[in-house]
Structure 1
Amino acid sequence: MEFDVIQGDIAAQSADALVNAAGTSLRMGSGVAGALRRRAGEEINDEAMERGPVELGAVAVTDAYDLDAEYVIHAAAMPHYGDGEATAESIRDATRNALERADELGCESLVIPALGCGVAGFDLVDGAAIIGDEIAASEPNSLTDVRFVAYSDEEYETIRATTGAAEQSEMNDNGAAGR
C-alpha cells in the first residue's frame, strides 16, 4: 500500500482514525498523547484508562471526542512511562495492530505518528523504517489513505528519507510511477 509522509500536528489532522503513540497503561501524558488529549478533551484520557492496561504492542480504540476523526487507536509501542523504552518488536507489533484494527473498523483513512520514537527513546531512523515497512506490507480491505505524520522539520525530512517517500515524490513529480 502506498502512503504519504506529511508534516503537522497529529491532533489537527482529519481522518477516520488517528493513532496515539501510547504506553501500555494507555494514560495520555505528554508527546503525541498529550497533543491528542488537549484537543480531544479529558474524556479521551478517561476512556483510554478504562481500556487499559494493554500488552506491549497491543492497541485499544476510543472515541475521538473533539478531534476531526471517528476513532483514536491507542498503539502501545512503549511500556508504561518510566518502565523502559520501545523496541523494534513493540513498534512493529503496535504498527501492524493499529493498521489491522483500523481496517477492521472500516476506516478508509488513518494518520500514524512515529510510534516509540519520542519519549520512548527509540531511534527515529530505525523506527521510521519499521513503520514504513509495516505500512507498505499491509494489505487492507478498506484502508486506502495512510499518512505518516511528522511534527518537526527534522523529523519530517528523516521519515521521508528513511521510508523512500522523498524518492517516490520525486519520481511522481517526473511522471514516473510511485512504489
Structure 2
Amino acid sequence: MDFDVIQGDIAVQSADALVNAAGTSLRMGSGVAGALRRGAGQQINEEAMDEGPIDLGAVAVTDAYDLEAEYVIHAAAMPHYGDGEATAESIRDATRNSLECADELGCRSLVIPALGCGVAGFDLTEGGEIIGEEIDAYEPEALEEVRVIAYSDEEYDAIRAATGEAEESKRTDGRKADR
C-alpha cells in the first residue's frame, strides 16, 4: 500500500473516501469537519448526525455529496465537543477503524487528516506517529493508497517527520517538498 503525506485542503482532494476528524456526536462543526461540510453541502451534516452518536474510536459512513469522493468516513477520535480531548487510544482506534472501513467499502484510495490533533488538542508529533504506525501495520485487501493530509506548514512538517515520509512527500500541487 502506498503511503504519502501531502499538504492542502481535504475538501478538494480526490479519492474513493475522505476521513472526517469527528467527535462522537458526528456534528460537523469546524476544522476538518467544517471544511468537508462546506465542500459537500449541509446534507452531509444531516446524514452524519442521523448516524450518531458513535463510540469513541468508532467510525460511521456517509455519502460524500459534492466532494470528489464516494464516501466520507467519520472517525470519532475525540469526544463530543467540550467533553474531553483525544487520547492515543482513540486516535489509534479511529485510524485503524478508518482503514478497515475503507477496505470493507472496496476503496482503493483514502485521504486521512491528523485525527485528534486539531481542536481535540492531542500532540501533533505523537498523533502523527500513531497514525503512521497504524498505516504501516495495516494489511489491506482493496486499499492501495493512503494520503495523510496536513493543512498548515507546521502540521505538514510535523507529520512528515513523525511518519518518516520527509523524502517522499509531495504537496497537493504536485511539487516535491523542498524542505
Please say whether Structure 1 and Structure 2 have the same fold, judged by a TM-score greater than 0.5: yes
Contact 1:102–1:110 under 8 Å retained in 2: yes
Q: 1:161 aligns to what?
A: 161
User: Are 1:62 and 2:62 an aligned pair?
Assistant: yes
Q: In 2, distance between residues paired with 1:168 and 1:65?
A: 31
Q: CA RMSD in A?
A: 0.8
- How far the C-alpha of 1:2 sits from its partner, in A, is 3.5
Q: Which amino acid aligns with 1:161?
A: A
Query: What secondary structure does 1:19 align onto?
Result: strand
Q: In 2, distance between residues paired with 1:135 and 1:13?
A: 19
Q: In 1, distance between residues paired with 2:168 and 2:145?
A: 16
Count matched residues: 169
4+ runs of 1 displaced by more than 4 Å?
none
User: Are 1:129 and 2:129 an aligned pair?
Assistant: yes
Alignment of 1:82-161 (within 5 A): 82-161=82-161
Q: 2:12 aligns to what?
A: 12
Q: In 2, distance between residues paired with 1:81 and 1:116?
A: 12
Q: In 2, distance between residues paired with 1:157 and 1:5?
A: 9
Query: What secondary structure does 1:3 align onto?
Result: strand
- How far the C-alpha of 1:167 sits from its partner, in A, is 4.2
- 1:91-147 Cα offsets, whole Å, 9 max, x none, are 000000000000000000000000000000000000000001001111010000100
Q: In 2, distance between residues paired with 1:92 and 1:162?
A: 15
- Structure 1 unaligned residues grouped into runs of 5+: 170-179
Q: Which amino acid aligns with 1:127?
A: G
Q: In 1, distance between residues paired with 2:167 and 2:39?
A: 34
Q: 2:31 aligns to what?
A: 31
- How far the C-alpha of 1:65 sits from its partner, in A, is 0.3
Contact 1:40–1:65 under 8 Å retained in 2: yes
Q: In 2, distance between residues paired with 1:79 and 1:111?
A: 22
Query: What secondary structure does 2:141 align onto?
Result: coil
TM-aligned CA distance change 1:71 to 1:87, over 3 Å = same
Contact 2:4–2:168 under 8 Å retained in 1: no
- How far the C-alpha of 1:158 sits from its partner, in A, is 0.8
- How far the C-alpha of 1:154 sits from its partner, in A, is 1.1
